[in-house]
Homo-oligomer: A and B are copies of this chain.
Amino acid sequence: MNINRREAIKISAAAGASLLLPSTISCQQAEGKKLGVALVGLGIYSTRQLGPALQHTEHCELVAIVTGTPSKAETWQKQYNIPASHCYTYETFDQLKDNPDVDIIYIVLPNFLHAEYTIRAAKAGKHVICEKPMAMSVAEGQSMVDACQAAGVKFQVGYRLYYEPFHLEAHRLGREKVYGKVNLIESSLGFSMANPESWRLNKEKGGGGALVDLGLYAMQGARMVLGEMPTHVTAQGYNVHPEVFKGIYESVTWQMQFPSGATSNHSTSYSTYVDRMYASAEKGWFELRPAFNAVGAAGQTSDGPLHFATPPFQQIAQMDDFALAIKEDKATLAAGTEGLKDLRIIEAVFRAIESGKVEEVG
């Protein structure tokens, strides 16, 4: 039990052997050990956020990668001391099931692949984290939740902001009505994403552009502050650069109505910068600005600035929460069912853009 898994892996790798840690000290059984994470897809988010974040996690660690690009595999092996035996391709993905070092498979693929790989990971008997947006549709998302339940594995959606200190405070201020009942939320996220080659701009691969990618955070923020789901939405889609944004809305504005009587108003865009959440309540207001980016938030209230230490990576707490949920067999804050909530809203927003009418959230 004193063997450090990383050191064991190093030895294993140095020996050129495919020696695996004995199953008797597999992490799920050894509460004190870190759970092993396999990152699937080594794009910018894995490279800049998840890989580095996993160097800070207390309850899990990076043990394996899945990539279709040999040069990436080489780079990551060196950078994170991952043995060749723990480097997979999409062809060998299903062999993850035979690797007892891997407890968690983290799907960081383009959106249209989320469902397929989440379900395959669940079938491999591994716990799954899937990046947001969780799926291309509510139906697809539900199939992912169902698959994980059927396989008896836990499922988290990669909602890093569920664990960010300024957001947690905003959620508390709203739900505990510290400034009284929240009446209005304005929250928006946009930045320039004008690369027509990106899968994010492809409707079949990205699922709908800025709304599902960035707007999701703005809508999530509103429902988390209010602690309730919207019942009705209205929405407007814009495309002023159709030569770049083909078949998707470049920008979307939408409004949500909540059972408490609160309303919210939002902007999202792939062509301009905005990053803020403001909540107006009976006796004051609170605001995060910047709010939703992965680098860090800042905040203020009608009483003055908020002060919280910004963690090196928001995903540290996210992944550790999931690892602890597994170790202690409890729920993760960002369960897959949370992802379904935003998919339900997103579908209503797209319906509202098309209909021009008030649409119920299904």
Contacts and interface: CB of A to CB of B under 8 A. Distances in A.
B276 A183 contact: no
A281 B276 contact: no
A188 B269 CA distance: 19
Given A236-B255, A238-B263, A183 B281 contact: no
A280 B358 contact: no
A263 B274 CA distance: 13
A238 B269 CA distance: 25
A191 to B, nearest CB: 9
Interface residues of A, number: 33
A356 interface: yes
B356 A274 contact: no
16 contacts: A183-B269, A184-B274, A186-B267, A234-B234, A236-B255, A240-B261, A241-B261, A251-B263, A253-B263, A265-B266, A269-B280, A272-B280, A272-B281, A273-B285, A274-B278, A356-B356
Interface of A: 183-184, 186, 188, 190, 234, 236, 238, 240-241, 251, 253, 255, 257, 261, 263, 265-267, 269, 271-274, 276, 278, 280-282, 285, 356-358
A361 to B, nearest CB: 15
Contacts of A238: 257, 263
Nearest to A260: B240
Contacts of A241: 261
Given A183-B269, A184-B269, A278 B276 contact: yes
